[in-house]
Amino acid sequence: MSMLAAATSTPIHVPRVEWVAILPELILVGAALVLLTASGLRRARLPRGVHMIATIAAAGGALGAAWYLWAQVSDGKARDAVAGAVVVDGFSVFFMILVSCAVVLGALLADDYLRREDLDGPEFYALMMLSASGAMFMAAANDLIVLFLGLELLSISLYVMAGLHLRRSESQEAAMKYFLLGAFSSAFFLYGIALVYGATGSTALPAIADFLRTNVLVSNGLLVGGLGFLLVGLGFKVAAVPFHMWTPDVYQGAPTPVTGFMAAAAKAAGFAGLLRVLFSTFITYRLDWQPVVWALAVATLVLGSVVALVQTDVKRMLAYSSIAHAGYVLVGVEVATSRGTAGALFYLLAYTFMVLGSFGVVTVVGRRGDAAHDLDTYRGLASRRPALALAFTIFLLAQAGVPPSTGFLAKFYVIGAAVEARAYALAIIAMVAAVVAAFFYLRVIVVMYMTASEEAESPRLRVPVGVTVALAATLGFTLVFGIVPGTVFDFARHATVLRF
């Protein structure tokens, strides 16, 4: 009796939950659950396009919520929420907006694809929204455990999405490979968290940062080892060399819209985590991690660009090119200045639109069965579908860094940051890699424009409405902000105000 009285007299401490701070994530998770439940309850198939519209509406809602948060934090104010588990600052809101855009574009690309491949159903959309909310949690994480949760939510959804194409063995293989390697990298990441906790006594990022600022560790093997394992886990997600082995196979095997979404969102989320850990938490250990990131960046740039040269499959080539792009973002990470971070963020945003546009074209050219990705199928595309070929050309040139495009400005920004930080060698290596990369982008253009079409009798490619809208949006972003980048530059710069 007395025990019961004691229990009631000391109330359980319940943290205050600021729902608004995680509203974008909540909207996406909620929509995913509703979508699954609703289509599970109904016998009859829902009318076509409903899933897509619901997803876009949810992503739009998330975008709106993120916009509302942006208004609160854009002046550099940041605040903890949900008992310090997440943080709302320009950085996290930036990624919320980026990921929401990726969801909208991914849904547009997927709509017709799923019907074409006879895979219609809510699963893809629900999983995409779940993984998007995982990505947002990673960006907003204020604690290593939350970061891990976000990472898992993102990854597990993506494993399933990669294997979504039931009738293609490549898709199954991709899912398996991604899952096995991903599980390994998650284990590494978790082990890293444990080591860091052992060294600093906390998993909360601000607490770790405070600890490192105020204490000098006599032997820091535990801490550096833990940081290394964290790097491995996140490096896997962003496809940095030497943790890139899964990328070509998974990008090639996964359904094309999934590949596009994965390239945009998973990479962005991985870099969000990387920047959060390295730049805001372990900034005092800069001299320890900078050489490592330098080496990663160089290896990623060189290997990504060079190996892409010999690919004959367009999806595989884009996979290697995405590895090379990770190298450029790593350049921005390596310099560890706020300009470098802003450059990395701008790069990720620009890349999201370029890569989703590119995979949009690939989705269309892939035809029914999603197998026609050989370079030869692009033969003479310019004479069959001039607009499509022109769009692809613009995306490829933008990825190669030819102005006026956001792709050029993104390179300009990160290289500028590297030069400002006197990392000349890195800047030159990055630019030379860009020239190598230009070669394989041009190869596709050559095939599209300068070789005659062999299969003139093949049925005309159909460009569905959703893809058209997505292509128009991505093209518009790439070109318009490639010419007047002021707003997006400001956006990225404000987003670098991280909470320490």
Partner 1 sequence: MVLPVAAAVVIAVVPRSRPEIVRALALLAAVLEVALSGVLLHRFRTGIAGFQLVSQHPWIKDFGISWKVGVDGISLFLVVLTAVLFAVAMAASTVEHDLKAFMCWMLVLEAGCVGVFLSLDLFLFFIFWEVVLVPMYFLIGGWGYERRVYAALKFFLYTMLGSALMLVGILALVFLEARGGRPITFDLVSLANNQHLAGATAKWLFLAFSASFAVKVPLFPLHTWLPDAHTEAPTAGSVILAGVLLKLGTYGFLRFGLYLFPKAAVDLAPVLLTLGVIGIVYGALVAAVQRDLKRLVAYSSVAHLGFIVLGTFALTTQGLQGGLLQMINHGISTGALFLLVGMIYERRHTRQISELRGLQRSAPVLAGVFMVVMLSSIGLPGLNGFVGEFLVLLGTFVTRRWWAVVAVTGVIFAAVYLLWAYQRVFHGTPDEANASVPDMTWRERAVMLPLVVLIVFLGVYPKPVLDRMAPSVNALLTHIERHTSYQQPDVAAGR
Q: Please give the residue ranges that form the binding site for partner 1 (CB under 8 A).
A: 397, 402-404, 408, 412, 415-416, 419-420, 424, 427-428, 431-432, 434-435, 438-439, 442, 446, 449-450, 484-486, 489-490, 493
CB < 8 Å & 24+ apart, contacts of 433-436? 433/301, 433/302, 433/304, 433/305, 433/324, 433/327, 434/305, 434/400, 434/401, 436/305, 436/306, 436/309
Residue of 498, 17, 15 lying closest to 279 (CA atoms)? 498
Distance CA 273, CA 238 (A): 10
Give the ranges where 401-423 is alpha helix by DSSP (H): 406-420
Residue closest to 224 by CA, chosen among 269, 279, 287: 287
Nearer to partner 1, 136 or 391 (CB): 391
| Element (DSSP H or E) covering residue 88 | strand 86-88
ω into residue 242 within 30 of 0, thus cis? yes
The nearest distance, CB 298 to partner 1, in angstroms, is 15
Nearer to partner 1, 174 or 448 (CB): 448
Q: Nearest approach, Cβ of 461 to partner 1 (angstroms)?
A: 19
Q: What is the smallest separation between the CB atom of 96 and partner 1, expressed in angstroms?
A: 23
CB of 223 to partner 1, least distance (A): 33
Least separation in angstroms between residue 315's CB and partner 1 is 23
Q: Considering the complex, state which of residue 224 and residue 445 has its C-beta at the smaller distance from partner 1.
A: 445
Checking phi first, is residue 285 left (phi over 0); if not, alpha (psi -120 to 50) or beta? Answer: alpha
Question: Between 230 and 423, whose beta carbon lies closer to partner 1?
Answer: 423
DSSP states of 2-34: HHHHHHHHS--------GGGGHHHHHHHHHHHH
CB of residue 419 vs partner 1: minimum separation in angstroms?
A: 4
Residue 105 tokens read as 């574009």
Q: Which is nearer to partner 1, 408 or 477 (CB)?
A: 408
Rounded to the nearest whole angstrom, what is the least distance from the CB of residue 484 to partner 1 in the complex? 8
Minimum CB separation from partner 1 for residue 182, in Å?
35
Q: Which is nearer to partner 1, 41 or 452 (CB)?
A: 452
Length of the chain: 500
Measured in whole angstroms, how far is the alpha carbon of residue 90 from the centre of its chain?
A: 17
> Which residue number, 169 or 487, has a Cβ lying nearer to partner 1?
487
Nearer to partner 1 by Cβ, of 193 and 394: the residue is: 394
Cα gap 471→455, rounded to integer Å: 25
Which sign does the torsion angle of CA 325, 329, 335, 338 carry?
A: positive
Rounded distance between C-alpha atoms, residue 307 and residue 203, angstroms: 39
